Amino acid sequence: MKFTLIIKLFFMLMISLKVQANQNVLKSQYKRPDSIPFPSNNQYSSTKAMLGKMLFFDPRLSKDQNLNCSSCHNPSFGWEVPLAKAVGAQAQPLPRHAPTVLNMAWVAPFFWDGRAPTLEDQALGPIESEVEMNLPIDEAIQRLNKIPGYQYWFAKAFPAESINQETILKAIATYERTIVSTQAPFDLWVNGDENAISDSAKNGFDLFNGKARCSTCHTAWNFTDNEFHDIGLLDDKDLGRYALTNQAVNKHAFKTPGLRNISQRAPYMHDGSLASLESVITHYNSGGLPRTSLSPLMSPLSLSTKEKTDLIEFLNTLTGPAMVVSLPVLPQ
């Protein structure tokens, strides 16, 4: 009798050690990188990043001088805005929800449908788009050229080059690459602090990687595979990546967003249709709208109430302390 009890305890210990070992292997896949990757054709310099920050926050890059990038990518709301559809120059809701600009150095391609290959290409879109900032780039160049402060800073950041489309976009992209989410409780746990997150969140992490299958698409430290999937949302008008590729598998397919600071980024999805993390989990638990383009990775999950709570507890550990973003002094 006593002997079987000892055997039993031994096996329980082995199983718990195995779970622990599995969790450690999984955790290592989510380790934060030590440095920001910059492309070789647009290397980092602090002057370039500072100039890019001025441009990011400068309303003179919009036709009516009333909108800047942070109008729709606001640091206080996880670098998005708490609206299903942000409003731009034409005072009408944009076709899609504004995504975050956090951790863009680890993302490509850009936009929900991936239509811009690089961050430099992407930045031209919102400046020129009639429904966003509505300023043709040639007018932007003329405007900036009339501002002595900008002439000074462009000359410092790009010696022997002028204020042109390429230098404007390179500066903005460099600043964006420096916008990196802060150390979250999850990172402290990954680095070995067992008290950094709750048991419920730890269980949520196991579900994320196991029963709930979230990690099949939300991979690595920024929690995205940068691929396109139809997760079966109700929106049936926006065909997503299909508009670019004309391939049936891309119907309703949108880019997997990273999940850093996700608790600050409601509402969710390309159409802003899900108001809370609870509704996100309810959606995934249902398996999504069955249609031919639905990702084969989607199916009903049969999560219990406790499991849903644990997943949300886990997602909440991905938000770190607020980033201090001082507004730049705009050149005159």
**Contact between 311 and ligand HEC (CB under 6 A)?**
yes
Q: What is the CA radius of gyration of the chain?
A: 23
Q: Is 86 in the site for ligand HEC (CB under 6 A)?
A: yes
Name which of 72 and 180 has its Cβ closer to ligand HEC. 72
Does residue number 213 form part of the binding site for ligand HEC (CB under 6 A)?
yes
3-state per-residue secondary structure call for 222-246: CCCCCCEECCCCCCCCCCECHHHHC
Per 3-state DSSP, what percentage of the chain is helix, strand, and coil (rounded to 5)? 45, 5, 50
Is the Cβ of residue 101 or residue 157 nearer to ligand HEC in the bound state? 101
- Based on the shown chain and the rule CB under 6 A, indicate whether residue 98 belongs to the binding site for ligand HEC: yes
User: What φ, ψ does residue 87 adopt, rounded to 5°?
Assistant: -115, 135
Q: What is the dihedral of CA 298, 300, 302, 305, to 10 degrees?
A: 80
Instruction: Please tell me whether residue 280 binds ligand HEC under the rule CB under 6 A.
Output: yes
Q: Which helix (H) or strand (E) holds 255?
A: strand 254-255
Distances (CA, A) of 129 to 9, 44, 63, 124: 66, 27, 10, 8
Is 294 an interacting residue with respect to ligand HEC (CB under 6 A)?
no
Residues 215-234 as x/- pattern, contact with ligand HEC by CB under 6 A: -xxx----------x-x-x-
- Assess contact for 90 and 277: CB atoms under 8 A: no
Contact segment (CB under 6 A) with ligand HEC among 136-144, 147-155, 213-221, 324-332 equals 213-221
For ligand HEC, the binding residues (CB under 6 A) are 56, 67, 69, 71-73, 86, 88, 94, 96, 98-99, 101, 104, 107, 110-112, 119, 122-123, 126-127, 132-133, 172, 212-214, 216-218, 229, 231, 233, 254, 256-257, 259, 262, 265, 268-270, 280, 284, 295, 297-298, 311
